[in-house]
Structure 1
Amino acid sequence: MKIKHAIYIIILVLFIDQFSKIYVKTNFFYGESVDILKWFKLTFIENEGMAWGTEIPGEYGKLFLTLFRITAVVGIAYWLWESVTKKKSKYLIVAISLIMAGALGNIIDSVFYGVIFDKSTATHLASLFAENNYGTWFHGRVVDMFYFPIWHGFLPQWIPVYGGKEFNFFNAIFNVADFSISTGVGILIFFNKKAFDNTPTNSTKPYLNNDLEENK
């Protein structure tokens, strides 16, 4: 698999990710939710932190997270380049490309959104390239929108710890970048042997080489 194919994957994911975020941020009030299906909603929220809405507390938590993401992307980019150069498995290259695209997608929010958008509220739609931006460089908030409340109810009493309590499945609200990262990690987990197969993708099998030698 060539590096250009990995770049195509990254660009495609980034385009879908940023298009969906900008559309939701400029067309949804903060907290607004639209039912697509009974178990699928578009719900606009923002978060300060990591994938799937988790956060790092503290005054410098956001800055630390953004800088960590940038450092991580540099490492992932090197991993991708090395994997392509050494003709590693397509599974591995696709997985790395998806992880890198997702990381870049959330970095764009963190680095730029604070200075190109004004604040989203329950009564105000955000504007792109607004004069009264809501934040500063490296302190933008990540836009999330996909919500899958597949089941909501009370768990049976016999379940340890959570028995009898109200429960939502699936409760996280996420974005395309988060999904891309999770898909990449999923490929590495579920296709581990194929992803980390050290045989170059264009290598010729030994028995074919032997046949060629015998026919000379």
Structure 2
Amino acid sequence: MINYFLIILVVVFDQFSKFQVKSNLYLYQSIDVLNSFLRFTFIENSGIAFGIDTSKYHLFITCLTIITIVLLFYYLKNIKRENSYEKIPLSLVLGGAIGNAIDRVFVLIPGSGYSGVIDFIDMPNLLYFIGIMDNPRWFIFNIADCSITIGLILYFILQYANDKKNEKSERIS
């Protein structure tokens, strides 16, 4: 069974937060939420993750995103009981993918007022403080991006733990 509640929760929270940002901030406006640690900075990202510009391929990226959503939904629907640990992380990924896909579809609608996926969470780059990166601010992202990232990290951790458990079971047998 797919975790519909989690998927819907992610999509609603993502779209509500984006609506609030688009309604209350002007493009590129930045407000401090927790001093300078957490800011809301309104941008519309015409690219994909980490600011990679794909604006010339927007229709292709949107179609690819929708195909991925359909495949992920199908996969989630058909997960066998022994792989049930995959359901929550992949539901987080699916909810995030749907949230960003909604923005991408709006970009394709003339007069919608969208020129990209709405991003607004602006945090310091911890890699800057240890000398690995040059930029003191991290990439600006949104709730859907967080959900996808957390879902993927959780998925790989659980996959690794499951593989270790299976290895141990095989050694015992």
Alignment length (residue pairs): 165
Q: TM-score, normalised by structure 2?
A: 0.82
What are the ranges of 5 or more consecutive residues in structure 1 without an aligned counterpart?
117-131, 200-216
Q: Kindly provide the amino acid, as one letter, of the partner of residue 29 in structure 1.
A: Y
- The 3 A distance-change label for structure 1 pair 144 and 68 is same
Contact 2:92 2:148 in 1 (8 A): yes
Off by >6 Å, runs of 4+ in structure 1? 152-156, 196-199
Contact 1:98 1:183 in 2 (8 A): yes
Determine helix, strand or coil for the equivalent of 1:12.
Answer: helix
What is residue 43 of structure 1 aligned with on the other side?
41
More helix by share: 2
What is residue 67 of structure 1 aligned with on the other side?
63
What is residue 77 of structure 1 aligned with on the other side?
73
Contact 1:77 1:100 in 2 (8 A): yes
Query: Which of residues 97, 100, 106 in structure 1 aligns to 2:94?
Result: 100
Taking the aligned partners of 2:162 and 2:93, their CA distance within structure 1 comes to 14
Query: Which of residues 124, 144, 151 in structure 2 aligns to 1:177?
Result: 144
Deviations 1:166-197, CA, capped at 9 Å, x for gaps: x2345200000011110111012222234569
What are the ranges of 5 or more consecutive residues in structure 2 without an aligned counterpart?
167-173
Q: TM-score, normalised by structure 1?
A: 0.67
After TM superposition, give the deviation of residue 115 of structure 1 in Å.
3.8
Instruction: Indicate the structure (1 or 2) with the bigger Cα radius of gyration.
Output: 1
What is residue 169 of structure 2 aligned with on the other side?
none
CA RMSD of aligned residues (A): 2.8
Determine helix, strand or coil for the equivalent of 1:149.
Answer: coil
What is residue 31 of structure 2 aligned with on the other side?
34
Percentage identity across paired residues of the two chains: 35
After TM superposition, give the deviation of residue 152 of structure 1 in Å.
9.3
Moved more, 40-49 or 143-152: 143-152
Query: Which of residues 104, 112, 119 in structure 2 aligns to 1:144?
Result: 119
